[in-house]
């Protein structure tokens, strides 16, 4: 009986370790596939290591993995509806499986973000005001309450530090007119004037 128990235990451990090895292999395979995609496909627009030079395409280096994975799932499910998402990313993400989506999130999270880029000091200063204190008269809450004091984001809230101002501005417009249907950001963006959007976009772009 005791021997039988040992055998069962050994087989169980063996099976568990086989499952674990298989899972590791799958994860390694997904990570390798993600790296290949990131370098050979995503990087054409999003830049080497996710540090895009073109303001049309967001910088992904250092982005929060959960946020990035959530966006890829939204592209795949065709629920994120801003024009560039439809034109580029619906197709691009259409065939990604869950393991590769998560691996892409990890890949970009591990890349070193580019440094922030300074711009018009007065605009950045106005943006800092909006970012840190919101717009009380329009009931716009401070951005930092979700995106963090350094615009580093966290969890499902995206990192904004160093992001292209043009991209951020376009997203705020998309939230405002509900092309990008995110209730919380629709509420925030509705209260923002164009000048305030420009300012806050310039501010987050300047953050390291």
Partner 1 sequence: MTQRAWTFRFWMGAIVVLSAAGLVERAEAVPSFARQTGMACEACHTVYPELTHFGRTFKANGYVLDNLRQVRGVNARRGELLDLSQTPPISIMAQVSWTQMQTSVPDVQNPDVSGFAQNGTVAFPQQISLFYAGKIAPRLGAFIQLTYGNDSGSIGIDNVDLRFADMHILPQDKSLVYGVSLNNNPTVQDLWNTTPAFGFPYAASNATVGSIAASQIDGTLGQDVAGLTAYLYWNESVYAEFGVYRSAKQGDANAVTGAAGPLDGTSSNVISGVAPYWRVAYEYTHDRHSIEVGVYGLSVSMLPGLTDDVPTPLSGAKNEFRDVAEDVQYQFLGDEHIFTFEATRIHENMDLNASFVAGSVANSSNDLTTIRATGTYYFRRMIGGTIGYFSTTGSTDAGLYASPGAGDPGVVTSASNSPDTKGWVAEINYVPWLNTKLSLQYTAYSKFNGGGTNYDGVGRDASDNNSWYALLWFAY
Q: In the structure encoding, which two tokens stand for residue 144, read together? A: 């930092």
- Which residue, 47 or 127, is less far from partner 1 as judged by CB? 47
Q: Is 187 in the site for partner 1 (CB under 8 A)?
A: no
CB of 91 to partner 1, least distance (A): 2
CB of 169 to partner 1, least distance (A): 11
- # chain residues binding partner 1, by CB under 8 A: 25
Q: Is 117 in the site for partner 1 (CB under 8 A)?
A: no
Q: Is 94 in the site for partner 1 (CB under 8 A)?
A: yes
Q: Is 54 in the site for partner 1 (CB under 8 A)?
A: yes
The residues with which 135 forms a beta bridge, in sequence order, are 140
Residue 124, SS3? helix
Asked if residue 104 lies in contact with residue 42, where contact means CB atoms within 8 angstroms, the answer is: yes
Q: How many Å from the N-terminal Cα to the C-terminal Cα in the chain?
A: 65
Of 9, 11, 29, 56, the one binding partner 1 by CB under 8 A:
56
Q: Is 110 in the site for partner 1 (CB under 8 A)?
A: no
Q: Is 77 in the site for partner 1 (CB under 8 A)?
A: no
Q: Is 155 in the site for partner 1 (CB under 8 A)?
A: no
Q: Is 36 in the site for partner 1 (CB under 8 A)?
A: yes
Asked if residue 102 lies in contact with residue 65, where contact means CB atoms within 8 angstroms, the answer is: yes
Torsion of CA 37, 181, 53, 158, to 10 degrees: -80
DSSP string for residues in 70-82 = HHHHHHHTT---S
CB of 55 to partner 1, least distance (A): 6
Largest Cα span, the chain: 81
- Which residue, 38 or 188, is less far from partner 1 as judged by CB? 38
């Amino acid at each position: 009986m005791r021997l039988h128990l040992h055998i069962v235990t050994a087989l169980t451990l063996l099976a568990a370790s086989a499952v674990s090895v298989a899972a590791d292999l799958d994860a390694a395979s997904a990570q390798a596939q993600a790296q290949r995609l990131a370098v050979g496909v995503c990087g054409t627009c999003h830049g080497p290591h996710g540090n895009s030079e073109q303001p049309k395409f967001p910088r992904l280096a250092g982005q929060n993995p959960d946020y990035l994975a959530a966006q890829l799932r939204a592209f795949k499910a065709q629920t994120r509806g801003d024009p560039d998402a439809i034109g580029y990313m619906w197709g691009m993400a259409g065939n990604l499986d869950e393991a590769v989506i998560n691996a892409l999130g990890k890949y970009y999270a591990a890349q070193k973000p580019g440094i922030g880029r300074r711009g018009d000091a007065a605009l950045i200063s106005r943006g800092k005001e909006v970012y840190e204190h919101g717009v009380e008269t329009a009931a716009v809450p401070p951005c930092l309450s979700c995106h963090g004091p350094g615009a580093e984001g966290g969890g499902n809230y995206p990192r904004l530090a160093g992001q292209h101002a043009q991209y951020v501005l376009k997203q705020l417009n998309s939230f405002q007119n509900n092309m990008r249907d995110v209730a919380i950001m629709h509420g925030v963006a509705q209260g923002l004037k164009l000048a305030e959007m420009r300012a806050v976009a310039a501010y987050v772009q300047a953050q390291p």
